[in-house]
Amino acid sequence: MALGTIISMLLGKTGLTFPSFCRWNACISSNCKHKKIFDKLYPIKHSEIHIFGEVSLAIFLSMSMMKLKIMANYRFSMSPMLILLFAQVILIVIFIIFIAFSCNG
């Protein structure tokens, strides 16, 4: 975690602003998790890491959704969202018809 905090402080000096929960710890720990050297020194319990990751993701998503304030910008946000939604539906239908059906026979 110290390495992630150091990276966050160095990137903060560049003038970019990062959220307070973004400390680069997940990037560092995910890279260290797969190294075989650390398995000998510190045995990793993957089930506990998975549970911690699920809880952290749930907390992050709930915090992000609470800060969105979609209803405050209802007039300005609904028409672009609907346009994007219809564009995604059309692209998915095209993908399914021309690529997925042809690959599956």
29-48 residue pLDDT tens: 666 556 666 667 777 777 88
Burial class (CB in 10 A: 0-12, 13-18, 19+), 11: middle
pLDDT range class, residue 86, cuts 50, 70, 90: very high
pTM exceeds cut of 0.75: no
Residue 104, pLDDT above cutoff 70 = yes
More confident residue, 92 or 49: 92
User: Residue 58's pLDDT is what?
Assistant: 92
CA 52, 55, 32, 15 torsion: positive or negative?
negative
